[in-house]
Structure 1
Amino acid sequence: MATVDGDGGERSRRGLTQARGRLARALRSIDDRSLQYFRAAFDAGSIRGAAEAMGVAPSVVSRAVRAIELNLGVPLLERGRRGIRATVAGELLAQHAQERWRLDERLIEELSAVEGGERGIVRFAIGEGFIAATFRTRTARFLATHPNVTLHAETAGTEQMLERLGAGELDLALAFSPRLTPALDCLAEAATPVFAVMNRGHPFAGAERLPLSAFADVPCALQLTRYGTRRAIEQAEWLGGFRLRKQVESNSIALLLEFAREGSGVTFLPRFAIHGIDGGLVTVALTDGPLVGARSMLLKKRGRTLGAAAQLFAADITAMMARLGRTDEAP
């Protein structure tokens, strides 16, 4: 019956691990120039041919090859009357050198692409309302122009965006009426006032401008408290000393608009959020300071260095925001 020497097997495994570690250290210690001399000798089939190709004395090539052999502990080239021939270890090292240089060249190309903004990942959050404006078409155009850029985009409320920016989880966020803190940088902003939105048959539909307090007794559909629009409304309520009659609270702009479209009451949104609404809805400008002066901002975390792709995307969003500022005038 055969027996297994447990201690002997463990010693053998330990020895293999140590040998691999020694080879790994030796391989990492080989400088690129010495590896080039070895590869030149491998390709030329002679030390003299390698020296001529590299423009050095034959002794320089010989010393470089010998140093690698001593480091690795294995012969790489066998010398004979007709020149040199690679050993099995030499064949493996030559293949490794070629693959290493190929990977280096590929990395240089990819890093250059990242540096130039041709490649990269942009992590971005946006309020749902902006998507109804020109964001979709601009994003499609940007990605068509930069096909190797990946955009990780998500919709979120203003408070959630600020939290994720602060945690370093986002490169950029496009937020409505955010509370700026010293931890944030505003890259661009646009005036985006809030309007009342209602069915064309609503009694207030013919008004040009109204204070928010005019809607105090009207059923209202509002965004949740984590959204910038809701905070601007609450500030106007506090300043005016009144409260709106909240019948619906939702994070869905589509639901808020449907509430108004059905004639159930009114909702309040920035003009860009209702871009392209159908003929059944109308907007009325509001006169309250927090709503007239509301602004949208493109933000990043202070101190965060944006990659080239994120910088290009930020420039594109900045151009879009300039358009928002022009089209958000009173109807």
Structure 2
Amino acid sequence: MTERVLVDSALRYFLAVVRYGSINKASVQLHVAPSAVSRQIARLEAELGSQLFERTKTGMRLSASGELLADHARKARLEALRVVNEITGLEGIQKGMVRIASIEGLATYFLPQLISRFRERYSGIHFELIACSNSNVTRRVQEGVADIGLTLTPPPMRGIRVEKRIMAPVHAVMSIDHPLASKRQVTLAQLAGYPLGLPQENTNLRNLFDIACSRQGLLIEPVLVSNYVNALIAFSASGGGVTLFGELSVRHHSYRERLAVLPVKDREMSSRTIEVQTLAGRTLPKGVAAFLEMLCQELD
């Protein structure tokens, strides 16, 4: 049994068009003819007396009415799935699925070790962990394809419930043999004298770094730029230079014993936050709620 028994076909087809942006793409995912999808959308628009999509050259874009219906339909689908799973005995705290979207830094070591600890107690709970950008974390939660999202310093977003927000200052990560490793904290001016490995431009951390350097008149060119967290941490652990990450990103890293992790004394570097997100107005399945509670306690 699936949530389909409790969710109208028209709403399922509507959500597929919302997600994939076109009737043809939605029909492929639904394994039905495009004409069937078109009929269901037309039926919804006729019954509601409102246009749900704006038809453009690039695809289907939600109208204001469509946005309202999409919010309702996503919550209805998730609630139907929760109810069906409880009825069939596949939910509860014994079995179920927890879908997480997270920035890469937290998805690399912090979340896997937390999932491992959780499954020692609840071995029937399965997980899906997707690493993606800040904006995609929130989008996946809004669309109902992720139960929990972990992101950095996001702007307020419609339809999002903030379950937890903590300060997540940036730290300098270096080998324990580095000349700065014995200090209690470091400044960007001090780091300017050493090789630096940084994330790519337009990431949250890199934007903060560039703003801070601009404010202080510092010209720092990284010797290594990468979109891969492990590459930057391995670079530092091997003595290649310093990189910048939040403490949680390296807390459980396999190289942790070879690393010194020092706070960066700077306004921008200290202002980051980690936010735990869920879909507003949704009743979480018991397995998801239990993991969320453990996650928030760990962040405390």
TM (normalized to structure 1)? 0.56
1:268 corresponds to 2:244: yes
Q: Does 2:286 correspond to 1:299? A: no
1:308 and 2:286 correspond: yes
Q: CA deviation at 1:132?
A: 6.0
User: Of 87, 102, 120, which aligns to 1:126?
Assistant: 102
Cα deviation, residue 279, structure 1: 4.8
Change in CA separation of 1:233 and 1:305 when aligned onto 2, cut-off 3 Å: farther
In the alignment, residue 130 of structure 2 is paired with which amino acid? Answer: E
Match of 2:175 among 199, 206, 211: 199
Distance 1:160 1:248, change over 3 A: farther
Q: Distance in 1 between matches of 2:248 and 2:211?
A: 21
Output aligned runs, 1:67-86, within 5 Å.
none
Counterpart Cα distance in 2 of 1:160 and 1:183 = 15
Cα pair distance change 1:139/1:232, threshold 3 Å: same
Alpha-carbon displacement from aligned partner over 1:229-253 (angstroms, at most 9, x marks no partner): 3333234234434343122222222
- Give yes or no for the alignment of 1:234 onto 2:210: yes
Backbone CA RMSD of aligned residues: 3.0
What displacement does 1:298 show?
1.0
SS at match of 1:292: coil
**TM-superposed deviation, 1:125:** 1.6
Unmatched tracts of structure 1, length 5 or more: 1-106, 323-331
Name the residue aligned to 2:33.
none
Structure-2 change in CA distance of 1:197 and 1:165 (3 Å) = same
Distance (whole Å) between structure 2 residues aligned to residue 286 and residue 205 of structure 1: 12
Instruction: Give CA-to-partner distance per residue, 1:9-66, whole Å, 9 cap, x none.
Output: xxxxxxxxxxxxxxxxxxxxxxxxxxxxxxxxxxxxxxxxxxxxxxxxxxxxxxxxxx
Aligned pairs for 1:87-236 within 5 A: 110-111=86-87, 113=89, 116-131=92-107, 135-225=111-201, 227-236=203-212
Q: Residues of 1 paired with 2:88 and 2:180: CA distance?
A: 58
Please state whether the residue corresponding to 1:289 is helix, strand or coil.
Answer: coil
Task: Please tell me the residue identity of whatever aligns with 1:250.
Answer: S
- What amino acid maps onto 2:229 in structure 1? I
Distance 1:195 1:183, change over 3 A: same
Which letter does structure 1 place at the counterpart of 2:266? D
SS at match of 1:210: coil
Structure 2: gaps (5+ residues): 1-82
- Where does residue 290 of structure 1 map in the other structure? 268
Residue 255 of structure 1: how far off its partner (Å) = 0.8
Report the CA distance shift for 1:162/1:134 in structure 2 as closer, same or farther (over 3 A).
closer
Q: Give me the whole-angstrom Cα distance separating, in 2, the residues matched to 1:198 and 1:141.
A: 28
The CA deviation at 1:122 is 2.0
Q: Which amino acid aligns with 2:290?
A: L
User: Deviation of residue 278 (structure 1)?
Assistant: 4.7
**Identity level (%):** 21
**1:110/1:219 Cα in 2 relative to 1: closer, same or farther (>3 Å)?**
same
Contact 1:114/1:309 (CA < 8 Å) preserved in 2?
A: no
CA contact (8 A) 1:178 1:228 kept: no
**CA–CA separation in structure 1 for the residues paired with 2:248 and 2:293:** 19
Q: Quick one: distance in 2 between partners of 1:109 and 1:286? A: 47
How far apart are residue 223 of structure 1 and its match? 1.7
The residue that corresponds to 2:64 in the other structure is none
Tell me which of 288, 296, 300 is aligned to 1:318: 296
More helix by share: 1
Distance, in Å, in 1 between the alignment partners of 2:199 and 2:190 is 19
CA contact (8 A) 1:224 1:249 kept: yes
Q: Is the 2:85–2:91 Cα contact (8 Å) retained in structure 1? A: no
